[in-house]
Amino acid sequence: MSFIIQKRRCGQCGSRISWQYPVVEILIAILAVLLNFKFSTRLPDGQVFNFQFWFYFTAFCSLFLIAAYDFRHKIIERHFLYIFGGFAVVNTVYRNIQISTYRYLDILAALGIFLFFYLLWRVSDGKWMGRGDADLVFFSAIFLGYPLSLFMLLGSFWIGALFGVVLLITSFGRITIKSEVPFGPFIAIALFIAWYFSDMLTFLYEFIYF
């Protein structure tokens, strides 16, 4: 409210405040609401602290930091990446304790997706894909496991293509097909969608292939 009432200016010195601050706060609030919808019905009677909510909320906040930093600076920040990587490892260990069938497929799929991105970076000398994107997609695939990592891979390219088309249409020539666009945010969005709708996507995968 103060951002609107004060017309984007500091109340003391009058300096203009960037739109990024309310946008970030609104996006994090939306994230919290979505996670609350997902986990609020799973709490046993009498339990107040929801460990799953706070684990995934913190994990996705670290992923959001990676995406936001990449969006602003076109760099995958290593410190944020390693924090999210820690959550990814914990998540896959917990998942595979419950379902041991997919353990080797999780690793194979993550390595395959990493190799695909790494080759895109290596062959193009960084023009098609950044080196940090390969690391991010590896931890993202570890976080999701197989087969959700496949949906994340496809979804990131679809979302990126759609965003690119919109930019080309609305930029009026300022952005061209050769302009550099950070890919980290598309990976993050595709990861969250694949994770949030994991039950539906897993059912779809099993229906198609089995």
Q: Which amino acid is at 166?
A: V
pLDDT the model gives residue 38: 87
pLDDT the model gives residue 153: 95
pLDDT the model gives residue 48: 60
129 within 8 A of 138, measured Cβ to Cβ: no
205 within 8 A of 147, measured Cβ to Cβ: yes
Q: What is the mean pLDDT of each run of 10 residues along the chain (210 residues)?
A: 87 88 92 89 62 93 95 92 96 76 78 95 88 95 93 95 87 72 94 94 80
119 within 8 A of 64, measured Cβ to Cβ: no
Q: Is 143 exposed, middle or buried (0-12, 13-18, 19+ CB in 10 A)?
A: buried
pLDDT the model gives residue 154: 95
pLDDT the model gives residue 127: 84
